[in-house]
Structure 1
Amino acid sequence: MESKRIQMGKKPAKKREPKQKKGKSNVFLFKKKAKQPSLKKRKKARFLDQLKISQTYGLVLAGVIFLFIAASAFAGSILMNLNSQMDDLEQKGDQALALSEIGSVFRAKDMVVSDYIFTKDERLVEEFEVQNNQFNDLKEQVDSVMNTQQREAIFQQILSSNEEINTLFFETTIDAVKEEKENMIMYSRIRSADIRSMTLEYLTDLQEDLKADYTASVAKAKADSKQALIILVLSVLAALLVSIILTVLIGRRVNRQLNRVVHNSSEIAKGNLAVLPLEGSGKGDIGQLVSSTNSIAEQLRGIVSQLVAVAGEVKKESRTLNTMSDEVKEGSGQIAAAMNDLTDGAGQQADAAGEISQLIEMLNQEITKTREESDELKAMSEDVLLISDGSRAQIAELAEQMGQMTRLVSNSVQKMNGLEKRTGEISTLIQVIRDISAQTNLLALNAAIEAARAGEHGRGFAVVADEVRKLAVQVDESINEITGIISGVQKETGAVVTTLNEGYEQVEKGSGTMEKTTGTFAGIIESVTNMVSRIQLISKRMDTLTDRSNQISSSSQSIASVSEESSANIQQTAASSQQLNGSMEDMKGSAVSLLTLSDELENKVKQFQV
């Protein structure tokens, strides 16, 4: 009996596992965070960082369209200027032809005077009036070209000669013929011939002056055409070069930044939370995406670090609980065995009941601490779930913005196609000018024929007509060169359309990458949701364990009361002992379940690298 009392009073204590130091986990060690660059060393956000991706490409497209519109407007201005010069040259040709016809009118008047003297035909008087009216019409045509003092003086001499020959015919010749005054008739004939010769000399001087002016205008038109051609080529090449450079630079910038974000997102999705923060700022899409990615990584690092610590503590406490449950179970077994000798060992039973009460008190403290840590773990897991839901909304918004950018680039391609259509309309305008040049060449040929009919007096006009023809040929050649330039513009416009199509393909690839990233984040959220469910299950098990612990505490108090009244209440003590043994079995099962759940939580957390 004495040996039995000794075994009941002094139970062999099992060695407990040494507690691990705080701040460390037996799962894995935390990695040191890489040093982040100081805020003072970061570059200030540039203007493009403040814009959305769609706004950036819209700005580039606006610049390209503006440059091509400016080049097209300049080409139109050059064509209008050439058209104006052609009209001016045509007008000068008409005026030169009118001067030649004025000479013909004077010759005709002189012939009428001569014929009237010899034939005395009154119909010649009407013919003279017709020639005089024709002279007045021609005078109005050439009046605008008399814009210098020298031309005005010569033209006044011609007008005076016309008045003089009119006066000579109507006031002298007609009367002298009717009265048959031979001297006056001879005077009229000689004076008419002198007026004709003098007037033709005046007209020759005017034609020479007009020819010099015409030659200067032709030279100026050639110089202006050559200069305009050079400026047009340079402006079109500059517009194409600037548009291509802007498109390539913006595309490279956006792709480079998106690739960095995609790389970090992929690493986070793989569980590597030790990635370096991305550098970037601004209110644009890229800046917001960089800030969101850095924030997600930082918050996940903090949460996973806390989860690692809590998981280690839960595992440690669950092992302690398991050990203590074994000890309590062993004590309850000893109590059940001692119930057979309860009559002789009431004192020893009281000692065992006191020891059990102390162990249960310690167990209650450990259970309470474990429950508090389980509640903290549950709250942190819910925070992780909220952050994951927020990240899902940000990724969805970014995917929508990528879709808007895709539509914007598609609209840009359509507008560039419209610009190519406009250049085709310019080609139509060039064809109209080419027709005008052909008509001018035909007019010069007709003028040369008329000059040939005029004989010696039309030689100067024939030179002018030949120059008009040459200018028409040169204008036709210039139009051919401009047509080649417009064709080059159309080819370069097609190249820009091709470049925009390639940018559109890159944007579509970026959209595909964002869809993959969205799927990856969905996987992360699903894992976090499963982890939250596990933690909630652990919390429920801890509630059950607390209830069992309270029951054990109540049972230990009952055992103490039974120990004081062991003689009278031996049956009640036996029942309480059996109840205690069943409760300890339940507590043992709960402790094993808690240890299993803590191992699962630890394995889940190991997927992340902090």
Structure 2
Amino acid sequence: MNGYRAFYNFNEKIAIESINDRSKLLASSLEEKINGYFSSLNSFSIYFKDDGSFDEEATEKSLNLLAEANNVENAFIGFKDGRVFGLGGILSNLNAKESRREWYARIFSGEDRVITKVYKDANNLSVFAFAVPVFNDNKEIIAALAFGIKQDTLNKAMLKLSNKNQIYTFIHDGYVITAKNEEHIGENINVLAKGLDGFNGKYIRLFDNNKGDYFVASNTKIDKYNLTISVYEYENDIYNASKNMLFDSILILVVLLIIMLPIIYYGVVYLIYKPIGGEPVKISEILSNIANGDLSQQLTSSDKDTGIYRSVTLLTRKMSEIVTTSHSISNNVSAASEEVSVVMLETAQNAQNELAQIEEISTAISELSSTSKEVTKNATYAENEVAKTKNSVLNGRKAIKDKLDKTTGIHNSIQVTAQLISELKIDTLNISEVTDVIDSISEQTNLLALNAAIEAARAGDAGRGFAVVADEVRTLAAKTQDSTLHIQNIITKLQSQAEKVNDNIMLNVDVIKESMGLAKNVQTAFTQISDSVDNISDISTLVATASQEQLHVTEEIAQNTIRTFDLVTQNVSAINQTQQATKEVSKLAVAQKIELDFFKVAAS
């Protein structure tokens, strides 16, 4: 009964949600349809001539197009003075203003979209009017544009959207514009179904006095056009569907049970009994012994054994073999663990020794690295000093060469000077000979002057002037002789000095020759020193390069030693872990043996 009630409530909920969804869908469709009508009306234009009057022919064509596009019977324009222009021109028998047409009055009262109630048009047809205002360039209303839709056209369009046609469409004041029963169109919804208008909520449940049944309704409002769509469903229809579905379900269940009985029988025999293969009590006893660790029971089996019984006997036999083998393996593992533990202990001691030796090697390599750095530093310093020495030697060689060149120049100059002094000595000898001649001439002149004086004295007064001249000549001769003597003394001194200078110059020449020899020896020595310095420089460069390479190699060895130290440390740690693991394995082997002792196996 509870299942039926749950099914009933579920079906009711589905039906209500379906009504609500249909109401929203119909409201959306109607709103879209009305939007299309008003869009078409708003796209219409009235044609005016140059004199200000509207173009009737062009406007009538536009009205025809408007009517055809919306599938309506009539389209018309109501001007401000009440004249109405339709598809046949001006309607002489109708003045919208005077007859107070709803669409006309509401447009000129300021509404921009109008849907009227049902009224009789000029052709005496029951229609709804859809109307919009027409503005001039100054945004003033000059006319009302409208078209009429027959009452049954809109009603049929709405009813076609619902399979049961149980729909009401009404204006917010309750005026019904579509209904399943066309007689209800134009009535007030509150009279037809009191409470259907204005309820808040998803749905409402009301009683229909005419039909004597409750119905469930859902409303959806189209506020834009002051319309409400109400979709309703009678409860008998809802519950009859539930009853039919329940009856169908029960019928299907009975048929399925009838079909399933042979299948169930087959399943019990072939899927349960045969797979078990024996008495459940016997199987339970065997499993109970296994649970108690007793694998020593002797089980007989034959080819007829099947299913679970056969599997249990095989399981018992196999477990007995596994336990026996596990005992043996456990003993072997325990013994092997002890051996591994001893080996790991020795390995750990060896690793500790290796670690100590690597530490010593690392210390030695560090010292070697420091020494290599010092050697590299000293080699670099020596190379720099050798380079400086080489520059000094080159400068010395250049200075010796310059000195040798200058000494050679001095030697050559002294040689020339010695030659010039020799020539000067010769010239002084020649001067001496000239002075001897002058002295001889002065003596002869003095003698002649004396003779002239004697002759002048002999001549008396007549020879007095000649005597004066002779006196002067004698005086001049005497002075000449004195000067010649003086010159002779100077020449003698000059010759003596020239001789000394010549001897000194010759001595200097010998000294300079010796100096040149020494300079050449020094130059040769500097050349040898330069060659030696070059060799030392090459050796220093090789030493510096070798020490640098040695430093790099030493650093690499140091790094490798550190890595080796780390690896050995890791190995020591791994060995310790292995020892621990071996101990754990040994403990586990013992624990496994204890656990295996729980099982009792048949003696082999």
Q: TM-score, normalised by structure 1?
A: 0.32
Structure of greater Rg:
2
Larger RCO, structures 1/2 (Cα 8 Å, 6+ apart):
1
**Higher fraction of helix:** 1
Q: TM-score, normalised by structure 2?
A: 0.32
